[in-house]
Amino acid sequence: MSDPVSWLVIEPGWEVVDSGGDSLGKVHELVGDTGTDIFNGLAVSPGVLKTARYVPAEVVGTIEEGRVHLTISGPEFERLDDHEEPPPSEQFRSA
């Protein structure tokens, strides 16, 4: 395992894994405000032709170079809401 890093270095395309280490998909988009260092969550794309899921910051565990670990299981991930565009007041980075 690599050293933990800040949410500010997460890039689209990084692998996202569940609490057991199984791959869930790739980071599609970061949701937050980089200017004030407020992390709201991630949009995770589980695969081609599947809708991205919104993962709130509360269930993001360790972040290491190239990989984001969640504190929830795969079935819990599947029950998360689809990602919707944030309100115009929020800033985010996208793929």
DSSP secondary structure code for residue 11 in this structure: -
CB 10 within 8 A of CB 66: no
Rounded to whole angstroms, how far apart are CA atoms 35 and 49? 33
Indicate whether 95 pLDDT > 90: no
Rounded to whole angstroms, how far apart are CA atoms 36 and 79? 30
Q: State the Rg of the chain over Cα.
A: 12
How much is the pLDDT for 4?
Answer: 79
Over residues 20-66, the pLDDT tens digits come to: 999 999 999 999 888 888 999 999 999 888 889 999 999 999 999 99
The two tokens of residue 46 are 């589980």
Provide the greatest CA pair distance for the chain: 37
Domain spans, the chain: 7-85
Range of lowest pLDDT (9-13, 19-23, 48-52, 83-87): 83-87
CATH superfamily assigned to domain 7-85: Photosynthetic Reaction Center, subunit H, domain 2 (3.90.50.10)
